[in-house]
Structure 1
Amino acid sequence: MSIKELEITDQNVQSTYVQSQPDRLTGTAQQNKAVFDALPQLIIQRFNLLLEALAGEGAAGEIPVWPIEGVTAENVQQALEAIQQNLTAYINKIKAATGAAEVGVSAISGMQAQNVQKALEELRKAIDDSVSGIIPGGSITTDMLADDVISILDSKADKTQPLEQEISFKSGWSNAATSTYYKTQDGSCTVNCSVNGTGVPNENLIASLPAGFRPKKTVCRAAHVYGDSGRGIAEAQILENGDIIIYSAFAFNYVSFGATFLVQN
């Protein structure tokens, strides 16, 4: 039975309504009760059949719809099919080579595009114009970089180790172990000194650093000394003229120290 056929008509009501029966019922008690239950039973029966029909296949084809923009349909089934067709067609347009031109965009400040394709084209042109205005040719060359920038890049690229040089000692002093000095790219000099000699309890000039490896101002470091009187601490000074001097409170025959400092310009 279709949904339309489940309608309760006036005729159905009149035939089951109690008022349609004689004023005096002459049937059995069961028959008389049935007279009063006829209309409610009809309503229950039709309602259950309606639920069954709505859940059945094809029910959507019997339910009418109001007009929908862009959809031609007389019932729910037709409306759903039309919407599905429209959606499939739209997806196919987007997947096509020109699909971006079919997708609209909201207004974007500084752009006139009304679809994704035009928006991307305008954005690409804006980037190209910007790059061309700042970087002629659209690429960077060494001629475009400032000299100081090139120098920085060159210095960062140069990772060679500094060259160690042996300290040349004054007469009476000699290496106890290899004593060296070297300068790094950042303009600092490192001195490592381990020397044998005859030290007096006073000022002892043991070596001189060459120009380019001398400190901006006198550098003072603690030094380790020992001799016949035992071990102790002395002061090592590297002067602005490069002289390396050991100041000790007692005589000694060995001294060692290390120092790192910024060199003169």
Structure 2
Amino acid sequence: MDKLNIFQKIVEVRKSITGFSKDTKSFGFDYVSGSQILSKIKAKMDEMQLLLIPSVDYSTVHWEKHNYVTAKGKESMDFIVTFKLTYTWINAEIPTETLVTEWLALGQQTDDISKAVGTALTYNERYYLLKILGLPTDEDDADSKEPTGGKKSEFTSNNITTKMLIDMAKEKGIAETEICKQYGASEIKYIKQDDKKKAYEELKKMGEEENKTIDHNKVEAIEVLAKKKGIIMVSICAAYNITKFEQMTFPVWREATEKLESRPDKKIVNKDEKAENILGGF
């Protein structure tokens, strides 16, 4: 029997894959780990005498700090690391026969540059293997792959996935628990699909409206709320260095609304108390 070339051997490795189960959990969702993928193909790689060697081009390593303010006004800082990563398949029977793939590695983690590097290495290895071997994934996403032969997820969609909603919430600085509370679910994955789409669109709009002034409906809403709490417009606007509600951006409007909602409703007992509470500041 003729010896297989490197491409035929990689095909044999791909054919040996039977399925994955979600064995790792992070940020509230389950996903297929890179170690599971390697363990699935290691025996066949050994049989085919295939080696996979990763190599970092250290001249391309770049890192930077990304300082930003979340949608809730909290200051945060991430480390972002990028570098060129090369994966080389080697046919051990004929070592000169290789397949080389260049890959851009990117990792991002909060407050820890070593974790950013680790993220770049592990995540990119996982996705590289899935793509180079043409392995099946749910919606082209390794993190949303359902267990083979396991219970089918009740909440799957070709549109908004659990991971997409979680990632969007993280990007906007919104806690998962806030979303769950809004839609009466213990975890995001248990939110009904229609509500999941609605929550995603609402979070997405937060970014789109970041630098825009609020519309008439939001102006009217905060006016009604301020009157209910007994706080005059001048007091609220002064806190944000503006002269009228129409000048509020969406983040300012959201913050002011949250502050107003946390206050007790105005209870007027007499004229003196009314004047005191209204002029008490915001």
Do these two structures clear the TM 0.5 threshold for a shared fold by scoring above it? Answer: no
**Higher RCO (C-alpha under 8 Å, 6+ residues apart):** 2
More helix by share: 2
TM-score, with normalisation over the residues of structure 1? 0.18
TM-score, with normalisation over the residues of structure 2? 0.17
Bigger CA radius of gyration: 1
